[in-house]
Amino acid sequence: MRALEFWFEFASTYSYLAAMRVEDLARAAGVPVVWRPFLLGPIFAKQGWTGSPFTLYPAKGRYMWRDMERLCKAEGLPFRRPSEFPRNGLLAARIATAADGQEWLPEFVRRVFRANFVDDQDIADRQLLAALSSEEWLARAEAAETKDRLRERTLEAERRGIFGAPSFLVGDELFWGNDRLAQALAWARES
d(CA 67, CA 52): 16
Burial environment of residue 53 by CB neighbours within 10 A (0 to 12, 13 to 18, 19 or more): middle
Go through the domains of the chain in sequence order and give each one's CATH number.
4-190 (3.40.30.10)
Neighbours of 114 (CB within 10 A): 20
> Does position 57 have pLDDT exceeding 90, yes or no?
no
pTM above 0.75, yes or no: yes
43-55 average pLDDT score: 87
**Closest Cα to residue 2, out of 37, 30, 43, 42?**
30
Residues 74-129 have pLDDT tens digits of 999 999 999 999 999 999 999 999 999 999 999 999 999 999 999 999 999 999 99
Residues 6+ apart with CB under 8 A from 100: 35
Sheet architecture: strand order including 167-170: 33-37, 4-8, 167-170, 173-176
Would you give the DSSP letter of residue 49? -
5-17 average pLDDT score: 98
Residues 165-179 have pLDDT tens digits of 999 999 999 999 999
Name the helix (H) or strand (E) containing 174. strand 173-176
Neighbours of 177 (CB within 10 A): 17
Burial environment of residue 21 by CB neighbours within 10 A (0 to 12, 13 to 18, 19 or more): middle
pLDDT band at 133; cut points 50, 70, 90: very high
